[in-house]
Amino acid sequence: MKAIKGPALFLAQFAGDEAPFNSWDAITKWAADCGYAGVQVPSWDGRLFDLAKAAESKDYCDEIKGKAADNGVEVTELSTHLQGQLVAVHPAYDAAFDGFADPSVHGNPKARQEWAVDQVKKAISASRNMGIGAHATFSGALAWPYVYPWPQRPAGLIEAAFDELAARWRPILDHAEENGVDVCYEIHPGEDLHDGITFEMFLERLDGHARCNMLYDPSHYVLQALDYLDNIDIYHERIRMFHVKDAELNSTGRQGVYGGYQSWVNRAGRFRSLGDGQVDFGAVFSKLTQYDFDGWAVVEWECAMKHPEDGAREGAEFVRAHMIRITEHAFDDFAGAGTDDAANRKMLGLDR
């Protein structure tokens, strides 16, 4: 059996303009001080990481890794959640998502998509230069406005959306194959890949591409009332990355899954700091260990109430408490009878 690595912290929710969150040196020291052994890097944040340089220069990547190691943490993965979102954008979201892109492509969906594809490819190349075999991203979405069929969806609409989504991602996945990097899509509402069925629809159109994999985050399944443990049983061969994030769904007579347009703190479904929600992480860590998941347990802090620095420090302790040290022998070895093939045949009555 293999062991989960960790704890690690996704830095996206912590990077900022104030120290210690405004430089690579300072934020990695802070993460180590919080109790983390690794950090997942938001590749779009120039305060921490130069993506273009990392895609071209192994020396730069070695510097980034070396500084992190000096401060007590390892770089676990790079993320292109924001750029991956822009690989496929329905026109209804053009204005909202322009802010994710470089200003030079604002107001130009075609140029924005080309920029996004280039960004994700750069991150895959940078992952290779960093010696990292998995990359985190979003799929983007063309069909999301039609997720609830009213009026009824015209025949072929969803099929056309997924055909196009796969066509846009195939060259990126081929680039990932050339670089030995798994692309791990976070299965997430707002993305066309938002549950197991939609992932399967995408994967089928990619002919089962080996580099098309999942980032597993049980919080998004709680908020969809989806069985997050059965999901591991079904998709464990494709789960290559793990976000440790908690959530709760407390439906009332006034609101349920959709949330009634309320703020996060007032929604029936909301993200919580680790241990404050409904995810059974004991079962999650056990399931992943059962299936030999040996990636990182990466804390993604999102909570509508708790201070992020408290959530980060508590998160490191929480993950350490749930990590399973793999046993080196069976619990009942003490009762072993030391049999051999001949004894086994005798026990089965095969020598009569």
Q: Which residues pair with 215 in a beta bridge?
A: 186, 241
For 38-68, the pLDDT digits (tens) are 999 999 999 999 999 999 999 999 999 999 9
Average pLDDT of the chain? 96
CATH of the domain at 311: 3.20.20.150
Kindly state whether residue 39 falls inside one of the protein's structural domains: yes
CA–CA gap between residue 42 and residue 8 (Å, rounded): 13
Residue 134 domain-assigned (yes or no): yes
Say if 145 falls within a structural domain. yes
165: nearest Cα among 82, 81, 79, 87: 87
Q: 352 lies in a domain?
A: no
In a domain? residue 256: yes
pLDDT at 334: 65
Residue 49 or 331, more confident: 49
Say if 317 falls within a structural domain.
yes
Burial 13-38 (b: 16+ CB within 10 A, else e): bbbeeeeebeebebbbbbbbebbbbb
How confident is the model at residue 346, as a pLDDT?
83
**pTM value > 0.85:** yes
Q: Count of domains in the chain? A: 1
Going by C-alpha positions, the residue among 93, 90, 116 that lies closest to residue 104 is 116
- If pLDDT is split at 50, 70 and 90, which confidence band does 347 have? confident
pLDDT in tens, 229-288: 999 999 999 999 999 999 999 999 999 999 999 999 999 999 999 999 999 999 999 999
Contact 79, 42 (CB under 8 A): yes
Residue 21 pLDDT > 80, yes or no? yes
| 145 close to 91: Cβ distance less than 8 angstroms | no
Length, in residues, of the chain: 352
Nearest alpha-carbon partner for 93 in 192, 213, 170 = 192
User: Residue 328 CA to chain centroid, in angstroms?
Assistant: 30
- Tell me, yes or no, whether 44 lies in a domain: yes
Q: Return d(Cα 256, Cα 265) in angstroms, integer.
A: 14
Query: Around Cβ 197, how many Cβ atoms within 10 Å?
Result: 9
Residue 286 covered by a domain: yes
Distance CA 299, CA 322 (A): 12
In contact, 183 and 213? CB cutoff 8 Å: yes
* Containing structural domain, residue 108: 5-347
